[in-house]
């Protein structure tokens, strides 16, 4: 029997698309009940272009090879106690933020892609989403495994899962993913598949992964690198969904544009936590947040939206606001966390003199003018034994759930503030972007589990800070929280490296 | 000397994460435990799903069975992503060399026309059924509550896609890549009376809203019957008719089913033993779907193996159910 040659594209079609059939015992709409309620019009699923052509046998093979290498490095990392090789123990706080704030998001992404991987009516799209679902499960699990060794030597990693459901700043990322997952399948795809994975992903992963590389953290570098080829697939899927929706029906354009506006803003707000990590938590700096923003959003995103212009898609609303904020955002967010450093499961600190100089150089228009004086004052207070902690509870933005602390870009000394009324109640917002999102779907955003409201309502373990932070959040008080200086993390680090405690150094210096 | 100091001072401050410590005690935990247990969100959800406003994300009420704690489940294979893909990579390597050998040996050409035709009629159409199984397991994955349970469904879903792809390749091996066998198999799936029962069954399961019922209908009842019928009985029948090389092409499915059954049995057992309520609920589903499945599969069993085949597969299912007291 002589075999006909069969090309890759045709073979992939036979091995995926051709598996599907037209139902006759049940109605298509019964099998895919979620496909229409968002108003998206799909006329022909067969027009879906497969973003990648990977059959399961190849998937198992490649991924198993990657896992083998990854776990070999993680094993060596713990055997050699390579956590000792990071620049200094302050760095580890960056990956505490990652494990508590980002890794649970990978888990949410796995569930969300699983959901659309069942609910989308086209088999090509479903299969691509399913592969992303299992990849995202990979990400959360490899991240837990990479952090597992750090957890044995540093405080603040130990209860990441419990904390993600409760702690005030973690509800920023939790509500982001809850928002996407509770939307319909197409909005989910635009939110996570496109806006997050395509437009903003580099602003999340480059800071963390390069930050790890610059700071001697081989465990994080390794899972980051290992996830890169997965991410490349996710990006092609994100782009395909946009093109597909826009080519299917002209009525889809305004819906998709609105989703892009919303998810760009929601993503940008969440990334402000990454901005502070990048500028303040890395002892060895990679680049400034502003530089990263310019490369990965203004340049890369700019050309992407130029590309999408032929479909009628425009740059997201409030991109200009986000661009104006790039010189401020990291300083403002670090200030908030420094203020509430008694209520965080990681340590905060004031930059050293050298670090302040770096910030002045990178942010010539803003740092010396608006932020350095405040930081120097806080540093003086610390030296005088009166490290500043803000004892009040902040007001949170109803949409992004970040404390209301962003300033007006027209006047960077005053806090930006918006309100909406719905059903007789007032709601507060940090920005026009967050207010617009609320105003479009108030019935959704009034449901938000706002951590500060919940504390006031007595739903978080009791009235005192010890009840909330210690019992409800399960932060080990005096251990996981407060300033880095004087923390058990710092003390152990110094013993391991035969270093003088910072306090002694301070004494000697003065 | 300096080495001594280092080891003396580098005592870990804890053995594992708090969530594994609370569940398994204060000792080092396995990778399976750290990455599987208690990692799904449990409370303080922000918004209700537009697509199901009466429930929360991860809502326990998406099934009628009740577990006080879904995290008491355990996959005896201890699959997390890494161990899962490595196990499947091994199996696919064997499969790849089997398929290459089948091709090199010209096995398709050595089979009689009748045997080839029979495989195309009775085996290859299952590629569509496997896509249905993929969707059903994906449904259970995305509707469950605890990761330690859910991830098993995700692995199963991806396995079924893989099996659908292997079945398609069997068709291509038999028709020399003309793709005729796949066209023909689809015609059987859509119109052949022998296949309509199974297709109806699958389409019905695709509309079930309770994810544990989907598990019962698909992974417990249907798969037990179908895998016995096709990958044991039909395999034997084809061997008798001179098609013993088929065995090389379906080794993956046979090995996979053994592997997957360990997880299916454990999941079923833990849930049934939780309460009388669960036992009764599951018993009702089993009775329901078993009756349908036997009726729906009988015509296929007849043409694939013979008129005693269905009863033999039903025996296998009943024995399996008896082991968990159903
Ligand atoms: Fe990911
Ligand atoms: Fe991704
Ligand atoms: Zn906001």
CA–CA dist B61, A277 (Å, integer)? 39
Partners of A144 on chain B (C-beta within 8 Å) are 17, 34-35, 39
Ligand nearest to C-alpha A429: 3
Start-to-end C-alpha separation, chain A: 90
Q: Which of A259, A257, A276 is nearest to A267 (CA)?
A: A259
Q: Is the dihedral of CA B109, B112, B114, B115 positive or negative?
A: negative
Ligand nearest to C-alpha A138: 1
The CB-side HSE value for B208 (13 A sphere, CA atoms) comes to: 28
Average pLDDT, chain A: 96
Ligand nearest to C-alpha A136: 1
Q: From ligand 2's centre to the CA of A3, what distance in Å? A: 39
The shortest CB-CB distance from B207 to any of A21, A26, A492 is to A26
Cβ contact (<8 Å) for B158 and A19?
Answer: no
Which one is predicted more confidently, B303 or A502? B303
Q: What is the pLDDT of residue B2?
A: 42
Residues in chain A: 510
Q: Across-strand partners of A396? A: A403
H or E stretch at A412: strand A411-415
**What does the domain layout of chain A look like in residue ranges?**
8-17+29-327
Residue A278 CA from chain centroid, whole number:
13
DSSP-based three-state secondary structure for A78? helix
CB B29, CB B37: distance < 8 Å: no
Residue A355 CA from chain centroid, whole number:
25
Q: Which of A150, A158, A141, A155 is nearest to A82 (CA)?
A: A150
Average pLDDT, chain B: 96
Q: From ligand 3's centre to the CA of A101, what distance in Å? A: 17
pLDDT at A1 over 70: no
Task: Give backbone dihedrals phi and psi of A403, rounded to 5 degrees, phi first.
Answer: -55, 145
pLDDT in tens, B96-153: 999 999 999 999 999 999 999 999 999 999 999 999 999 999 999 999 999 999 999 9
Average pLDDT over residues A78-107: 97
Q: Which of B288, B294, B292 is nearest to B311 (CA)?
A: B294
CA–CA dist A50, A126 (Å, integer)? 10
pLDDT at B1 over 80: no
Q: Across-strand partners of A429? A: A418
Which one is predicted more confidently, A491 or B9? A491
Cβ contact (<8 Å) for B154 and A110?
Answer: yes
Q: Which of B36, B41, B46, B15 is nearest to A157 (CA)?
A: B15
CA–CA dist A221, A216 (Å, integer)? 9
Cβ contact (<8 Å) for B15 and A447?
Answer: no
Cβ contact (<8 Å) for A21 and B186?
Answer: yes
Burial of B200 (0-12, 13-18, 19+ CB in 10 A): middle
Q: What is the pLDDT of residue A505?
A: 61
Residue with tokens 């290992």: A226
Q: What is the pLDDT of residue B133?
A: 99
* Res. A500 pLDDT band, cuts 50 70 90: low
Task: Give the tokens for residue A430.
Answer: 């940090």
pLDDT in tens, A448-461: 999 999 999 999 99
DSSP-based three-state secondary structure for A436? helix
Q: Which of B190, B158, B183 is nearest to B168 (CA)?
A: B183
Q: From ligand 3's centre to the CA of A366, what distance in Å? A: 22
Q: Model ipTM?
A: 0.97
pLDDT in tens, B13-44: 999 999 999 999 999 999 999 999 999 999 99
* Res. B4 pLDDT band, cuts 50 70 90: very low
Q: What is the pLDDT of residue B3?
A: 44
DSSP-based three-state secondary structure for A392? coil
Q: Which of A124, A259, A130 is nearest to A192 (CA)?
A: A259
Cβ contact (<8 Å) for B13 and A492?
Answer: yes
Partners of B57 on chain A (C-beta within 8 Å) are 111, 178, 181-182
The pLDDT > 90 percentage for chain A reads 94
Cβ contact (<8 Å) for A151 and B19?
Answer: no
pTM of model > 0.90: yes
* Res. A419 pLDDT band, cuts 50 70 90: very high
* Res. B45 pLDDT band, cuts 50 70 90: very high
Q: What is the pLDDT of residue A261?
A: 98
The pLDDT > 70 percentage for chain B reads 97
Please report which residue ranges of A310-450 form alpha helices under DSSP H: 319-325, 329-339, 353-362, 372-383, 432-440, 442-445
CB B239, CB A58: distance < 8 Å: no
Cβ contact (<8 Å) for A3 and B176?
Answer: yes
Q: What is the pLDDT of residue A177?
A: 98
Q: What is the pLDDT of residue B7?
A: 47
pLDDT at B282 over 80: yes
Q: What is the pLDDT of residue B41?
A: 98
CB B78, CB B30: distance < 8 Å: yes
pLDDT at A476 over 60: yes
* Res. A270 pLDDT band, cuts 50 70 90: very high
Q: What is the pLDDT of residue B5?
A: 45
Partners of A155 on chain B (C-beta within 8 Å) are 13
CB A105, CB A180: distance < 8 Å: no
Cβ contact (<8 Å) for B47 and A444?
Answer: yes
Report how many Cβ contacts below 8 Å link chain A to chain B.
252
* Res. B10 pLDDT band, cuts 50 70 90: confident
Partners of B147 on chain A (C-beta within 8 Å) are 107
Ligand 3 (single-atom ion) residues, CB below 5 Å = A 397, 399-400, 430, 434
CA–CA dist B47, B57 (Å, integer)? 8
Q: Which of A408, A288, A131, A136 is nearest to B134 (CA)?
A: A131
CA–CA dist B107, B129 (Å, integer)? 26
CATH number of the domain at B78-323, out of 3.40.50.720, 1.10.620.20, 3.40.120.10, 3.40.50.300?
1.10.620.20
CA–CA dist B182, A112 (Å, integer)? 33
Average pLDDT over residues A302-315: 96
pLDDT in tens, A219-233: 999 999 999 999 999
CA–CA dist B243, A253 (Å, integer)? 56
Q: What is the pLDDT of residue A4?
A: 86
Q: What is the pLDDT of residue A3?
A: 76
Cβ contact (<8 Å) for A144 and B16?
Answer: no
CATH architecture of A8-17+29-327: Orthogonal Bundle (1.10)
Partners of A3 on chain B (C-beta within 8 Å) are 103, 176-177
CA–CA dist B77, B87 (Å, integer)? 10
Mutate one of A27, A33, A60 to test the B interface: name it (highest B CB count within 10 A). A60
Partners of B103 on chain A (C-beta within 8 Å) are 3
CB A140, CB B39: distance < 8 Å: yes
Shortest distance, CA A281 to any CA of chain B (angstroms)? 23
pLDDT at A503 over 70: no
H or E stretch at A242: helix A218-248
Partners of B7 on chain A (C-beta within 8 Å) are none
pLDDT in tens, A316-325: 999 999 999 9
Task: Give the tokens for residue A5.
Answer: 């040659």
pLDDT in tens, A371-413: 999 999 999 999 999 999 999 999 999 999 999 999 999 999 9
What is each CA distance from B191 to A268, B121, B185, B306, in whole angstroms? 53, 12, 10, 21
Cβ contact (<8 Å) for B86 and A160?
Answer: no
The shortest CB-CB distance from B158 to any of A130, A142, A158 is to A130
Q: What is the pLDDT of residue A502?
A: 56
Average pLDDT over residues A79-104: 97
* Res. B8 pLDDT band, cuts 50 70 90: very low
């Amino acid at each position: 029997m002589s075999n006909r040659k069969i090309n890759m594209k045709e073979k992939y079609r036979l091995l995926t698309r051709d598996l599907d059939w037209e139902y006759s015992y049940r109605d298509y709409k019964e099998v895919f009940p979620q496909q229409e309620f968002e108003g998206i019009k799909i006329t022909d699923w067969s027009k879906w272009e497969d973003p990648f052509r990977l059959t399961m046998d190849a998937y198992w093979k490649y991924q198993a090879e990657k896992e083998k290498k990854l776990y070999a490095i993680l094993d060596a990392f713990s055997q050699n106690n390579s956590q000792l090789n990071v620049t200094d123990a302050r760095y580890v706080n960056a990956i505490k933020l990652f494990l508590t704030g980002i890794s649970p998001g990978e888990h949410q992404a796995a569930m969300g892609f699983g959901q659309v991987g069942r609910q989308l009516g086209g088999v090509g799209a479903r299969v691509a989403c399913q592969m992303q679902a299992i990849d995202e499960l990979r990400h959360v699990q490899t991240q837990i495994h990479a952090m597992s060794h750090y957890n044995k030597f540093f405080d603040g990693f130990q209860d990441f899962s419990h904390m993600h459901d409760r702690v005030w700043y973690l509800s920023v990322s939790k509500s982001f993913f809850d928002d996407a997952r509770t939307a319909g399948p197409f909005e989910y795809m635009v939110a996570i598949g496109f806006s997050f994975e395509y437009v903003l992903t580099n602003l999340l992963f480059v800071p963390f992964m390069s930050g790890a590389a610059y700071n001697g953290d081989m465990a994080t570098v390794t899972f980051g690198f290992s996830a890169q080829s997965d991410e490349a697939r996710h990006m092609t899927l994100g782009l395909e969904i946009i093109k597909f929706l826009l080519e299917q029906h002209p009525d889809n354009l305004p819906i998709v544009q609105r989703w892009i506006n919303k998810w760009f803003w929601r993503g940008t707000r969440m990334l402000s936590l990454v901005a502070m990590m990048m500028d303040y938590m890395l002892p060895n700096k990679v680049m400034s947040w502003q530089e990263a923003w310019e490369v990965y959003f203004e340049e890369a995103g700019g050309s992407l939206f130029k590309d999408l212009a032929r479909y009628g898609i425009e740059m997201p609303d409030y991109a200009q606001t986000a661009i104006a904020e790039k010189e401020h955002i990291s300083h403002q967010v670090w200030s908030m966390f420094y203020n509430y450093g008694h209520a965080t499961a990681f340590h905060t600190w004031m930059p050293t003199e050298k670090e302040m100089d770096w910030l002045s150089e990178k942010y010539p228009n803003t740092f010396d003018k608006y932020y350095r004086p405040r930081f120097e004052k806080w540093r003086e207070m610390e030296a005088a034994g009166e490290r500043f902690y803000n004892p009040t509870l902040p007001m949170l933005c109803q949409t992004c759930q970040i404390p209301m602390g962003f300033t007006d870009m027209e006047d960077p000394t005053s806090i930006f503030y918006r309100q909406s009324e719905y059903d007789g109640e007032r709601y507060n917002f940090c920005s026009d972007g967050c207010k617009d999102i609320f105003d479009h779907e108030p019935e959704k955003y009034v449901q938000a589990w706002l951590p500060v409201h919940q504390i006031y309502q007595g739903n978080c373990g009791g009235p005192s800070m010890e009840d909330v932070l210690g019992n409800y959040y399960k932060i080990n008080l005096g251990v996981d929280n407060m300033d880095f200086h004087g923390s058990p993390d710092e003390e152990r680090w110094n013993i391991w490296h035969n270093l003088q405690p910072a306090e002694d150094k301070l004494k000697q210096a003065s | 000397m300096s080495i001594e100091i280092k080891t003396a001072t580098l005592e870990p401050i804890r053995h594992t994460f708090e969530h594994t410590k609370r569940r398994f005690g204060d000792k080092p935990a396995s990778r399976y435990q750290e990455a599987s247990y208690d990692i799904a969100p449990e409370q303080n959800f922000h918004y209700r799903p537009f697509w199901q406003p009466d429930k929360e994300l991860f809502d326990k009420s998406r099934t009628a069975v009740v577990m006080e704690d879904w995290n008491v489940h355990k996959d005896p294979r201890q699959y997390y992503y890494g161990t899962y893909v490595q196990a499947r990579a091994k199996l696919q390597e064997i499969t790849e060399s089997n398929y290459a050998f089948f091709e090199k040996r010209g096995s398709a050409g050595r089979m009689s026309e009748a045997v080839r035709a029979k495989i195309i009629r009775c085996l290859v159409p299952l590629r569509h059924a496997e896509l249905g199984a993929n969707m059903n397991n994906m449904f259970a994955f995305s509707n469950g509550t605890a990761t330690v349970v859910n991830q098993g469904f995700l692995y199963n879903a991806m396995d079924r896609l893989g099996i659908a792809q292997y079945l398609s390749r069997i068709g291509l091996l038999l028709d020399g890549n003309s793709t005729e066998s796949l066209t023909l198999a689809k015609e059987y799936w859509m119109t052949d009376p022998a296949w309509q029962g199974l297709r109806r069954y699958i389409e019905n399961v695709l509309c079930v809203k309770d994810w544990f019922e989907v598990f019962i209908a698909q992974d417990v009842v249907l798969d037990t019957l179908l895998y016995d019928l096709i990958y044991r009985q039909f395999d034997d029948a084809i061997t008798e008719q001179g098609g013993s090389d088929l065995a090389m092409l379906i080794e993956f499915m046979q090995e996979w089913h053994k592997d997957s059954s360990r997880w299916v049995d454990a999941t079923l057992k833990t849930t049934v033993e939780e309460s009388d309520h669960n036992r009764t609920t599951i018993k009702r589903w089993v009775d329901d779907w078993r009756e349908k499945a036997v009726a729906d599969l009988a015509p296929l069993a007849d043409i694939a193996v013979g008129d005693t085949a269905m009863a033999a597969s039903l025996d296998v299912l009943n024995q399996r159910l008896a082991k968990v007291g159903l």
